[in-house]
Amino acid sequence: MRKPIKNLHLAVLPPDGKIRVSSPVNMKDDAIRTLISTRIPWIKKQRRKFSSQERQTARGYVTGESHYFLGKRYRLEVVYKNESSKVILKGNNKIVIQVRPGAKLEKREEAMLGWYRESLKLILDGLFSKWQKKIGVMPKAYSIKKMKTRWGTCGRESRHIWMNLELVKKPINCIEYVTVHELLHLIEKKHNENFVSLMTKFQPNWRETKDELNRLILAYEKWNY
Ligand SMILES: [Zn+2]
């Protein structure tokens, strides 16, 4: 990337340590390469940081672990009881997973993801009914699924909107931003000027919300917002 800037900018990007270089327009390739080569120890150090963060984010669904819900961090507590599993919010900083004695990682994860999905469904029901009215469009359906690189998608022909399950970890204003974004795709397919002006009309501060949404994403390589 070449931009009208004075200095060479080097960034190591999560999750796999790809390098992004922004250089002054008139800087020669050789000079860029030489400069980068002097920064190799720093690049290696940043990459090591990412791989240790990756280990920390591996989920075990055990007591003491941190998990996010609607933009807030909670401490997980696992309780074993011979009843059907459930997840509850306790106080203002605890998520309690109740599972049967001996429940393995997959069962604990299943309980948590099931709860995440139900919670997001409730939130989306509210947001979709609000914004369908305001914008005056109606998708054929909307559903939740796990996606690797997108917060939401809107089928061109099907008019079916898919929302990423990961959104449940984000603040509600971010979930609302994605809802509006996808609904507007029913009017304008492309991210063109028309789309941007519609976005600004319905959510004047959408740019800040978008930045908030994409802050500190380490688990995915590329997000299209
Ligand atoms: Zn879009």
Q: Residue 172: helix, strand or coil by DSSP? A: helix
Interatomic CA distance for residues 5 and 24, integer angstroms: 5
CA of 90 to the centre of ligand 1 (A): 36
CA of 73 to the centre of ligand 1 (A): 28
Packing angle of the helix pair 29-38, 40-57 (nearest 10 deg) = 60
Interatomic CA distance for residues 127 and 191, integer angstroms: 22
CA of 180 to the centre of ligand 1 (A): 10
Contact 101, 80 (CB under 8 A): yes
CA of 183 to the centre of ligand 1 (A): 9
136: left (phi over 0), alpha (psi -120 to 50) or beta: left
pTM for the whole thing? 0.73
CA of 176 to the centre of ligand 1 (A): 14
CA of 57 to the centre of ligand 1 (A): 28
Q: Can you give the pLDDT at residue 221?
A: 36
Q: Can you give the pLDDT at residue 105?
A: 95
Residue 16: which of 188, 222, 225 has the closest Cα? 222
Interatomic CA distance for residues 77 and 62, integer angstroms: 7
Going from the C-alpha of 73 to that of each of 70, 147, 215, the distances in angstroms are 8, 22, 15
CA of 150 to the centre of ligand 1 (A): 9
**Which residue ranges in the chain fall short of pLDDT 50?**
54-56, 218-224
What's 63's DSSP letter?
T
Interatomic CA distance for residues 170 and 209, integer angstroms: 11
CA of 197 to the centre of ligand 1 (A): 13
CA of 9 to the centre of ligand 1 (A): 28
Q: Can you give the pLDDT at residue 16?
A: 61
CA of 20 to the centre of ligand 1 (A): 24
Interatomic CA distance for residues 126 and 172, integer angstroms: 11
**Positive or negative torsion for Cα 73, 122, 222, 197:** negative
CA of 198 to the centre of ligand 1 (A): 12
